[in-house]
Structure 1
């Protein structure tokens, strides 16, 4: 199967490796130094918990032309980068697109592709459940080939589901199909945003979490407020266990976050400043629309805003 992975960051590289190992004809879109690394060395991933490094050759392109044809395109990038590639995707003749990553505005992205493309577009949205970071010329991964993608369509079943199943059938990678992917994506933003609001210094670089009681309490209560905002929008938290943990088991969540703050692993799961800023803006709009009070989030937001 001919597949394009549009984006060669940590998660894009992980997904491309999985698809290559599934026997697919995989091309990865990269630019600059990253494109040169991939052409020279292939996809080099150090799997942290598996204590191994894998190397997989892959075809590299630097642009997606209008006449390029792929069976599947996976767009794997940060939320704040999606708008810049939508016009390119709309002009391309490929029909089946999966937009992968944090997403607060899936519906408008799908609408743009449908309205601006001369060809019919079938669009799905997903989240590659993994983590990692770049380390010189390779990627550190905590997911590896046994990871999964939460995936779904905004309008019923994905029209190209058989192609997706075929692409992943030979690898240890689970496609977790959901009937309400938009609710899952919006629910996922809540803990991601609250955890990352305290994760940057004045240079927008990741810093070690303090893990003090005041900080952790604000983070947990801000997650609760985030659920209230979603509820005011008519959105149920998915998965339900996330909502129960935040609202009914705060002492347990406090202890988990305390441990998390002390471990270096949080840097493998953390976001980047630009994306967190964009997600923060989206959440602020939700909050204004619903009129939901969020005093604990306001404290975190104040600290986050000082960095700008």
Structure 2
């Protein structure tokens, strides 16, 4: 099966590794230095918990042409990068697209592709449960959750489900189908934004955060307010236990976050606030529509965006 991985970061590289090992013909789209690294060395991954290294050779391109056809295209990028890719995907003749990553605006992304494509687009959205970082050499340090992706369609069943399953058939990778993927992604974004904002404000010093009661409390309170916005707008919080923990069992949530931020594995996961800044801007529209008070979320947004603005300037 011909598969394109559009994006060669930590998550895209691991997905490409999985699909190559499953017997597919995999092409990775990368640019600049990353393109050269893949051409020369292939996909080099250090699997942290498994304590092993793998090297996989893949086809590498730096541009997707209109006539290039793939059975599946996985777009694995940061949220702030998706908008630049959508016009290119719309012009391409491939039909089956999975947009993978943090996403607060899946409906508008799908509408853009449907309205601007000359060929029928079958679209799904997913989130790969893994993380890690990329070293200067290009080697990926992979910290993964068993090799799995939460995936679903905004229109009910995924029309190309059989194609997806065939692609992963010879792997141990697990596809977790979700009937409310938009709600799942938005629920996930709430937690990601609250946590990453605190991380950014504290310069990603996780052990320092684990000892800071104010930061941990604000993180949990911001999540609660974010979930309230989604609830007001009729979104299903998924998984539902997130609300119970931050609202009804806050002490458990507090100590859970405290323990999480003590884990040494956190230093192996890349952090980028440019993505979170873009999510905040999208989420502003949901806040306006919900029209409820969110003082903790607003304070966290204000302080983190001010820091980001100062650093960018």
Q: TM class by shorter-chain length?
A: over 0.9
Tell me which moved more, 149-158 or 253-262: 253-262
In structure 1, what is the equivalent of residue 235 of structure 2? 235
The answer to whether the Cα contact below 8 Å between 2:148 and 2:176 also exists between their aligned partners in 1 is yes
Q: Tell me the equivalent position of 1:217.
A: 217
Aligned equivalents of 1:166, 1:81: Cα separation in 2: 28
Unmatched 5+ residue regions in structure 1? none
Deviations 1:209-239 (A, max 9, x none): 5231111111111111111000011001011
Contact 1:128 1:148 (C-alpha < 8 Å) held by counterparts = yes
Ranges in structure 2 where 5+ consecutive residues have no aligned partner: none
* Counterparts of 1:170 and 1:241, CA distance in 2: 33
Residue 70 of structure 1: how far off its partner (Å)? 0.4
How far 1:288 sits from its partner (Å)?
Answer: 1.7
1:226 and 1:269 map into 2 onto residues whose CA distance is 24
Task: Give the TM-score normalised by the residue count of structure 2.
Answer: 0.94
Pairwise CA distance, 1:99? 0.5
Q: In the aligned structure 2, how far is the partner of 1:190 from the partner of 1:62?
A: 33
The alignment of Structure 1 onto Structure 2 pairs a total of residues equal to 305
Work out whether residues 196 and 270 of structure 1, in 8 Å CA contact, stay in contact via their aligned partners in 2: no
Aligned to 2:143: 142
1: distance between equivalents of 2:130 and 2:123?
22
| Equivalence map 1:289-300=2 (5 Å) | 289-300=289-300
CA contact (8 A) 1:74 1:99 kept: yes
Describe the SS at the equivalent of 1:176.
Answer: strand
Normalising by structure 1, we get a TM-score of 0.95
Please give the root-mean-square deviation of Cα atoms over the aligned residues, in Å: 1.5
Per the TM alignment, residue 53 of structure 1 is displaced from its structure 2 partner at its CA by: 1.1
1:240-259 matches, within 5 Å, as 240-259=240-259
Distance 2:239 2:263 in 1: 25
Aligned to 1:66: 66
Comparing 238-247 with 180-189, which one deviates more in the overlay? Answer: 238-247
Structure 1 residues 268 and 244: CA distance shift in structure 2, 3 A? farther
Kindly state the Cα deviation for residue 270 of structure 1 after the two structures are TM-superposed: 5.3
Q: Report the CA distance between 1:201 and its aligned residue.
A: 5.6
